[in-house]
Amino acid sequence: MKQLAILGSTGSIGKQALDVVSKHNDEYEVQLLTANDNWQELVRQARQFAPDAVVIANEAHYAALKDALADKPVKVYAGSDAINQCAAAKPVDIVLNAIVGFAGLTPTINAIKAGKVVALANKESLVVAGELVNRLVAMHNAAIIPVDSEHSAIFQCLSGEVGNEVEKIILTASGGPFRLTPAEQLARVTKDDALRHPVWSMGAKITIDSATMMNKGFEVIEAKWLFGVPVEDIEVVVHPQSLVHSMVQFADGAVKAQLGMPDMRIPIQYALSYPDRIPTDCERLDFTRHGTLTFERPDTDKFRNLGLAYEAMRRGGNIPCALNAANEVAVHAFLHDRIGFMAMSDLLEEVLAKTRHIASPTLEDYMETDRMTRIMTQELIR
């Protein structure tokens, strides 16, 4: 039985991970579940999955959570430090990090330092501090298995190819809800428009990132650190059907692709079952019903964030960290109707132009860049 810590269990990825676990209770046992605010959902999950411990990051909910689970033998803790300590506990084999945003970085680092296998949904960990994270993985004999569907696809395409040169990674993108919206209309789209993703149902932050294509930019950076491929060799291709999850082209010109219905439970389960494949009841891809697969170049004039991610990566050091911080503030402001859709890219451009470059950041440098960038972005919004 593999012992799991699921960080961010009340979110979109967390809930789907628990769905996988519920169908394979002969394979997985839950040691730890954590959430930020939603203590009621955490209570329901704790009653169903009987973990050793639960942690609520927001300490204001500790008493309510503790009370609600008083009749159960589960340990109840609060605060970010408790998340890190419990995830590092001895019995845990795999830490699934499904926390959203910069808040996921420290849990990733601590799980790596504890030598765990990290099933990584929190792409921001690699966007912010990919170089540092990779160094720690090597040092502590840990491993990262991608959960993001594109990276799971690439990971699967690379299986059995050790030593073979990768010529190019082809990262597919759905194009989001505004693929066909004329550029001049984008300034007027609302958060409700942006939250209506054509393919995937996800948390609010990544849904907005998908609408701006920031998500794809972050995934280019994520791919660079996961697979050691320079960003110039990572090509983004818009594929609205979202059936080809990504591809790898090798030195001989051969291209391998991984396909399937768009269902996050498949890559989540693969990250947990790797290197084995175990059954699912997920819908199968019927090629006769999905007869047309189309591919097009992304419009980087319309979706400037994609270009900003490449630029941030070329500058390197702490710049992708600044991009991530500014983006989190911008998305939050957009979700609270404080700025418009296009203003998000304007803000990121301005912040990147003003950020002081640090070539080889330490963890403290990343923390400080994140903190200072948030302040700068807030001030620019005011």
Interface residue list for ligand NAD (CB under 6 A): 8-14, 35-36, 38, 57, 98-100, 103, 121-124, 148, 200, 202-203, 205-206, 264
Contact partner, 202, from Mg ion, ligand NAD, none, Cβ < 5-8 Å per class: ligand NAD
Burial of 283 (0-12, 13-18, 19+ CB in 10 A): exposed
Residue with the shortest CB distance to ligand NAD: 11
Q: How far apart are CA 107 and CA 87, in angstroms?
A: 8
Closest distance between ligand NAD and the C-beta of residue 98, in Å? 5
Contact partner, 11, from Mg ion, ligand NAD, none, Cβ < 5-8 Å per class: ligand NAD
Q: By CB under 5 A, is residue 148 in contact with Mg ion?
A: yes
Q: Which is nearer to ligand NAD, 267 or 317 (CB)?
A: 267
- The DSSP H or E segment spanning 226 is helix 214-227
Closest distance between ligand NAD and the C-beta of residue 35, in Å? 4
Whether the CA torsion 211, 8, 330, 325 is positive or negative: it is negative
Burial of 367 (0-12, 13-18, 19+ CB in 10 A): middle
Closest distance between ligand NAD and the C-beta of residue 148, in Å? 4
Q: Which is nearer to Mg ion, 148 or 370 (CB)?
A: 148
Q: Which is nearer to Mg ion, 203 or 340 (CB)?
A: 203
Contact partner, 370, from Mg ion, ligand NAD, none, Cβ < 5-8 Å per class: none
Contact partner, 206, from Mg ion, ligand NAD, none, Cβ < 5-8 Å per class: ligand NAD
Q: Where are the beta strands (DSSP E) in 199-304?
A: 234-238, 244-250, 255-259
**Residue ranges in 80-109 that form contacts with Mg ion under rule CB under 5 A:** none
Closest distance between Mg ion and the C-beta of residue 173, in Å? 9
In our burial notation (b when 16+ CB lie closer than 10 A, e otherwise), range 66-81 reads bebbeeeebebbbebe
- The DSSP H or E segment spanning 141 is none
- Token pair for residue 42? 């955490």
Contact partner, 305, from Mg ion, ligand NAD, none, Cβ < 5-8 Å per class: none
Residues that contact Mg ion, how many (by CB under 5 A): 3
Q: Which residue(s) pair with 170 in the sheet?
A: 235, 247
Q: By CB under 5 A, is residue 222 in contact with Mg ion?
A: no
Contact predicate 105/130, CB 8 Å = no
Positions touching Mg ion (CB under 5 A) are 148-150
